[in-house]
């Protein structure tokens, strides 16, 4: 049974978490965390790599001993060291570490003092107001944890898009190889590229004698067969995700694809237009009276109501129908429009690879430029750079640019902390030597809406401020956005000549789609950046592109579609 990268990374993360809670050696904990980060950032299947006999030690932060552990996980689905650790510590303690505000010491205190082993135990302790009595907590912390746990519960059932892809892509390949299968599409929110996915809806057309329905329920990752018919089957995968497969006649495939892609609101609007023309549009086709007149393609559906094709990412009933009628649909940005990346980290702080390795990985993607933006000194947990270490890195960048001989241009940058009072983390003297500054809020998320907004606006007053990174601070399914008047922030950015980031990390995707569109409408420019911590992380760019397309962004709305000269002009304050 194939094991996915996400599952391998989860085991390594859990091992690191439980070791942390247990007070183990810091270097041992870090080894597991770095290996988990490497595995989680890979675009290729690690299981395939193991089966091909590849040398895993070529991966960043994977030594011989860690490589053997990973091979064992791929072969057995288990990590022996973790099994032994879980004999003394409940496995679900690791899940508590994912709740913002709970580090290893606090989790250990809750476990020892209150017998909290999992999220359900924590919820009961919070409801009984017992947490506030544990040393290091108090009433305010108890209230904050209650809010964060409630928010986490609200979003638990949806799967981040990257994880959904890891599940869906091999299943799609498996089904496409079944005899007689003609066409296959994964519809629903997955096709609309929403940041999280509920269930998977797969539509297929096939020859009459194709065994695709039987093959579907026999897929190796199926944990439970819910139903199995001739044209529809439903299964629960061992990942917990529900998948529906529908076998369709070619004459209805396009109409069904439109219907099951959604959104519901978009479909209702299109059906209403059909009714106005004396047509009935549903998942079976386009009908006049009882006669199906078209529906083999999605274009048939839009032709029937006099509309051009509308890209799936736009189908949310947020004005796309009116724009289509008026001939004003955006020319959505594509991955091929991206000319470089403006947010990346090296092993000088919390990245996994050297400056040169990151440069070579970006050059291999055909990028014209890459901004090196390691953390500034306030982020001590990431070994952030002080002025002296940053100055040394700038000299290193100069030397490397000379060796790169024009294949790619490294830009001198920093991910600069916005301090609580709105000042920036490093002095102007060193900041003036940089090509750009990506500015971030990394702490004090609990400030009031007014204070958080003023904090960022004050930071933007500094002429060295270029890009506001991950503007809301949210982590999908883990941490809600901090309270912020984003409209005022965008307005302030436009007035000052600053820009905003759409952080493409799949657990951030921050700005979200609606806020990206608001920024566009207000005249702000956006950097779609990966926040890469390894060369493999540059693959995250496509998730940023998906989000940008959902936000109606066109190439001109995005900073890093520009040539180097055009970019540098836009970065000048």
What are the pLDDT digits (tens) for 205-221? 999 999 999 999 999 99
The Cα–Cα gap between 151 and 145 comes to 10
Q: How confident is the model at residue 43 (pLDDT cuts 50, 70, 90)?
A: confident
pLDDT tops 90 at residue 573? no
Q: What is the DSSP string of 404-446?
A: HTTSSEEEEEEEEEB-TTS-BSS-HHHHTT-SEEEEE--S-TT
Q: Are 66 and 352 in contact (CB under 8 A)?
A: no
393: closest CA among 351, 346, 342? 346
CA angle (70 as vertex; 69, 73 as ends), nearest 5: 90
Helix (H, G, I), strand (E, B) or coil at 506: coil
pLDDT in tens, 316-332: 999 999 999 999 999 99
- DSSP for 207-260 reads -TT--HHHHHHT-TTEEEEEEE-SSEEEEEETTS-EEEEEE--HHHHHHHHHHH
Q: Give the Cα separation of 249 and 125 in Å (integer).
A: 55
In angstroms, the CA 95 to CA 549 distance is 33
Query: How confident is the model over 143-194, as pLDDT tens digits?
Result: 989 988 887 776 657 899 999 999 999 999 999 999 999 999 999 999 999 9
User: Contact, 459 vs 422, CB < 8 A?
Assistant: yes
Q: What does pLDDT average to over the chain?
A: 94
Query: Residue-wise over 145-181: b if at least 16 C-beta within 10 A, else e?
Result: bbebbebbeeeeebbbbbbbbbbbebbbebbeebeeb
* pLDDT at residue 524, as a whole number: 98
What distance in Å separates the CA atoms of residue 33 and residue 16, rounded to the nearest whole number?
6
pLDDT for residue 370: 98
List of residues 6+ apart from 16 with CB closer than 8 A: 29, 30, 32, 33, 36
pLDDT recorded at residue 547? 98
Tell me how crowded residue 370 is: count the other CB atoms within 10 A of its CB.
Answer: 26
The SS3 assignment for 123 reads: helix
Diameter of the chain by CA atoms?
Answer: 77
Query: In the prediction, which pLDDT does 155 show?
Result: 60
Task: Give me the torsion for CA of 246, 252, 254, 260, rounded to 10°.
Answer: -40
Residue 91's pLDDT band, with cuts at 50, 70 and 90, is: confident
Q: Residue 282 and residue 305: Cα distance in Å, rounded?
A: 13
Tokens of 533: 């911590």
């Amino acid at each position: 049974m194939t094991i996915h990268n996400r599952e391998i990374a989860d085991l390594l993360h859990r091992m690191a978490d439980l070791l942390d809670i247990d007070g183990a050696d810091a270097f041992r904990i870090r080894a597991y965390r770095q290996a988990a980060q490497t595995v989680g950032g890979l675009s290729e299947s690690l299981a395939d790599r193991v089966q091909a006999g590849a040398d895993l030690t070529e991966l960043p932060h994977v030594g011989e001993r860690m490589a053997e552990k990973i091979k064992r996980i791929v072969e057995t689905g288990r990590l022996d060291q973790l099994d032994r650790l879980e004999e003394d510590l409940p496995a679900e303690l690791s899940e508590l570490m994912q709740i913002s505000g709970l580090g290893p010491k606090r989790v250990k205190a809750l476990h020892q003092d209150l017998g909290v082993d999992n999220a359900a135990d924590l919820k009961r302790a919070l409801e009984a107001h017992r947490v506030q009595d544990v040393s290091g907590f108090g009433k305010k912390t108890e209230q904050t944890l209650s809010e964060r746990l409630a928010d986490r519960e609200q979003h638990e059932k949806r799967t981040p898009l990257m994880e959904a892809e890891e599940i869906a892509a091999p299943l799609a390949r498996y089904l496409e190889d079944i005899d007689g299968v003609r066409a296959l599409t994964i519809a629903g929110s997955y096709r609309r590229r929403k940041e999280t996915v509920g269930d998977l809806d797969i539509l297929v057309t096939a020859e009459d004698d194709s065994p695709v329905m039987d093959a579907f329920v026999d897929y190796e990752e199926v944990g439970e067969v819910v139903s199995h018919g001739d044209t529809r089957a439903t299964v629960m995968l061992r990942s917990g995700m529900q998948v529906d497969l529908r076998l369709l006649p070619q004459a209805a495939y396009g109409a069904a694809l439109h219907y099951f892609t959604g959104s519901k609101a978009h479909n209702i609007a299109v059906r209403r237009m059909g009714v106005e023309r004396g047509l009935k549009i549903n998942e079976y086709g386009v009908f006049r009276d009882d006669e199906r007149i078209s529906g083999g393609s999605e274009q048939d559906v839009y032709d029937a109501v006099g509309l051009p094709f509308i890209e799936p990412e736009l189908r949310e009933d947020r004005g796309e129908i009116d724009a289509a009628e008026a001939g004003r649909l955006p020319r959505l940005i594509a991955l091929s429009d991206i000319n470089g990346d403006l947010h990346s980290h090296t092993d000088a702080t919390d990245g996994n690879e050297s400056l040169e390795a990151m440069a070579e990985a970006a050059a291999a993607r055909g990028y014209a430029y890459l901004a090196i933006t390691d953390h500034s000194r306030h982020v001590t947990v990431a070994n952030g750079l002080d002025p002296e270490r940053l100055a040394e890195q700038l000299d290193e960048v100069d030397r490397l640019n000379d060796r790169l001989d024009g294949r790619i241009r490294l830009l001198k940058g920093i991910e600069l902390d916005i301090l609580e009072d709105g000042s920036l983390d490093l002095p102007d003297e060193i900041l003036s030597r940089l090509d750009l500054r990506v500015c971030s809020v990394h702490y004090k998320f609990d400030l009031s809406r007014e204070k958080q907004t003023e904090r960022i606006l004050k930071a933007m007053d500094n002429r060295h401020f270029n890009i506001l990174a991950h503007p809301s601070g949210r982590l999908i399914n883990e941490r809600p956005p901090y309270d912020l008047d984003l409209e005022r922030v965008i307005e302030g950015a436009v007035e000052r000549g600053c820009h905003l980031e759409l952080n493409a990390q799949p657990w951030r995707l921050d700005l979200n789609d609606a806020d990206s569109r608001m920024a566009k409408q207000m005249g702000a420019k956006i950097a779609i950046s990966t926040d890469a911590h390894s060369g493999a992380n540059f693959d995250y760019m496509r998730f940023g592109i998906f989000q940008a397309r959902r936000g109606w962004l066109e190439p001109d709305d995005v900073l890093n579609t520009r040539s180097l000269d055009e970019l540098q002009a836009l970065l000048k304050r």
